[in-house]
Amino acid sequence: MDARGRRARIPRRRRVLESVLNVAYRGDWPARLWHRVAGTAEVCVARYRLARAHGTRPGRIAFVSDLHIGPTTPVPLLERAFDIIRRAEPDVLLLGGDYIFLEATPARLDQLGWLVSSVSAASKLAVLGNHDLWTDHGAIVRTLEDAGAAVLVNQAIRLPEPWDDVVVVGLDDPWTGQCDAPAAFAGTSGEPVRVVLCHGPDGLHPAGAFAFDLFLCGHTHGGHVATPWGPVFMPEGRLCRQYAGGFARVGGADIYVSRGIGGVEVPFRTFAPPDVLLIDL
């Protein structure tokens, strides 16, 4: 599907804010300042076992979301997350969107391409997030594809053998994009294992009309700035506060909401540490 030409969907207030941040954060000084704080490069690892009735050989999927390469995300934090993924030796890499924060500059695109290409997985699949659609997402798509990742926009793809009993259903961003679950799920009703990949929890609404085993998303950052009792702020989305982060069970299926890796308007996090998910097949 042609993913070009959707930048016009960005709200006017968001355009103004990003113009201000582009000037205020010039030189990426917030990321460098935040990296001086001890522990800011730590990444949590969550684990999940996905049962397969007809699997001929075990496999591993790594899922990571919300890299937000840009002025508020320390480079060592990104490198640490992908070092964890590389060491896990996944057979499949799933990417949950929001790869760039603010402008998709050549330097940020190069960083994205290097990170994704550094993982030697047999299959790499990605979806787009709202921040991707607010910038030059055509360049982001090309960078991901050059790094070996197929970008799914309301479509499903079967994993390569010997994991071809697993189908990944990629939904477009439910808030900024054009999420079309019927198109994405078309032809998947007979597949033994269905994994839904979407940027945000709001994709649960359209996906709920179809059967699936595991729903993977990000977008919430776990609140990014949170307390021991829960998030203080949440991004836009009706289901973000209900599914702020971690595992949940919905209608017979499991969901996992990643807190992501990078920062957005503010570089720092509280009680919402970055994470990656490793899924054993």
Question: What are the chain's domains?
Answer: 10-280 (3.60.21.10)
Report which secondary-structure segment, H or E, holds 277. strand 275-280
Side-chain-side CA neighbours of 249 within 13 Å: the count stands at: 1
Report which secondary-structure segment, H or E, holds 256. strand 253-257
pLDDT, tens digit (0-9, with 9 covering 90-100), for 10-69: 778 888 999 999 999 999 999 999 999 998 899 999 999 998 766 668 899 999 999 999
Distances (CA, A) of 272 to 77, 123, 199: 14, 29, 18
Q: What is the mean pLDDT of the chain?
A: 92
* Res 119: pLDDT: 98
Which residues, other chains included, contact 178 with Cβ-Cβ below 8 Å and sequence gap of 6+? Answer: 6, 154, 172
pLDDT, tens digit (0-9, with 9 covering 90-100), for 238-278: 999 999 999 999 988 999 999 999 999 988 999 999 999 99
Respond yes or no on whether the N-terminal peptide bond of residue 162 is cis (omega within 30° of 0): yes
